[in-house]
């Protein structure tokens, strides 16, 4: 019984430290993701953290002990196809951002500040990589 309690405590501490590290990365922001499109089965929202890298956006699931990001999207192929403010849905200062990368459609929710950062990150890409931002 004591070993089980110690094991549960270690998992809880590891989860807390993982979340703290993810939220502390430079260029990280809270977001939720949902896969969409004709090839994706209806997906549910998953909360997590996105982190900008030089050549890609990586997304980590909040409630997981996985050591690798759940999703990685190439900056070169990343396109924002739409943006919907969620004010009328009772979520002030949140946006639903519709995206596509390498033929995969997905939605992200994020704050207005995080959206500004995402748009700036895409627009500041090298000239051969820039995409139009909505």
Per-residue pLDDT of 70-114, as tens digits, reads: 999 999 999 999 999 998 878 889 999 999 999 899 999 999 999
Q: Which fold has domain 2-123?
A: PH-domain like (2.30.29)
Question: pTM of this prediction?
Answer: 0.75
User: What is the C-alpha to C-alpha distance for residues 84 and 120, in angstroms, rounded to an integer?
Assistant: 18
Structure-block tokens of residue 37: 């499109």
Whole-number average pLDDT of the chain: 82
Identify the pLDDT of residue 50: 94
Q: Residue 122: is it exposed, middle or buried by C-beta count within 10 angstroms (0-12/13-18/19+)?
A: buried
- Could you read off the pLDDT of 111-124 as tens digits, one per residue? 999 999 999 999 88
Give residue 26's pLDDT: 67
């Amino acid at each position: 019984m004591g070993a089980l309690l110690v094991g549960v405590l270690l998992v809880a501490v590891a989860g807390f430290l993982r979340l703290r590290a993810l939220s502390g990365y430079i260029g990280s922001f809270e977001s939720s993701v949902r896969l969409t499109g004709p090839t994706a089965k209806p997906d549910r929202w998953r909360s997590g953290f996105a982190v900008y890298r030089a050549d890609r956006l990586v997304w980590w699931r909040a409630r997981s002990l996985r050591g690798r990001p759940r999703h990685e999207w190439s900056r070169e192929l990343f396109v924002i196809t739409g943006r919907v403010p969620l004010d009328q849905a009772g979520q002030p200062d949140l946006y639903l951002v519709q995206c596509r990368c390498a033929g995969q459609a997905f939605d992200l929710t994020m704050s207005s500040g995080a959206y500004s950062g995402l748009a700036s990150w895409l627009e500041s890409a090298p000239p051969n990589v820039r995409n139009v931002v909505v």
